[in-house]
Amino acid sequence: MVAVFIGVGVAIIALVPGLSGVWPAIQSASTGWVVAAVGIQLVGLAGAVLFVQLVFRDVPHNLTWRMGGGMQAANSIMPTAGSTGVSYWTLNSIGWSAGSPSARR
């Protein structure tokens, strides 16, 4: 799945005319900075998952991992509203709603 996303990203950079200057910048990127950026993103992901696990203690851990990861991904596209939407959709899919007794704890 990751390889597909990388392939799509490379294809978009190569095919969209206005992005021709991006490729040289990617090629000249420092490996250390790229590794640092990936590490920072992983710390952010772990923080999002931990936050979800602390707030929703009754939710199974496999769901909190997906929910935290989805929130982090949605925040990169649409900050705040994206993570709120993912949270609502995930909880709604397991039967929680704003009016249910489980949601008011």
Domain count, the chain: 1
74 in a structural domain: yes
63 in a structural domain: yes
101 in a structural domain: no
Over 80: is that where the pLDDT of 97 sits?
Answer: no
Q: What angle do CA 85, 86, 92 make, to 5 degrees?
A: 90
- Per the listing, tokens 């950079």 go with 13
**Nearest Cα to 96, choosing from 62, 68, 57, 70?**
57
Residue % of the chain over a pLDDT of 70: 89
102 in a structural domain: no
105 in a structural domain: no
Residue-range definition of the domain harbouring residue 53: 2-95
Furthest C-alpha separation in the chain: 55
Per the model's pLDDT, the better-predicted residue between 35 and 86 turns out to be 35
CB 13 within 8 A of CB 19: yes
45 in a structural domain: yes
32 in a structural domain: yes
Give the DSSP H or E segment for 104.
none
Residue % of the chain over a pLDDT of 90: 8
pLDDT at 104: 46
Interval 3-27: pLDDT, tens: 898 888 888 888 888 877 887 888 8
90 in a structural domain: yes
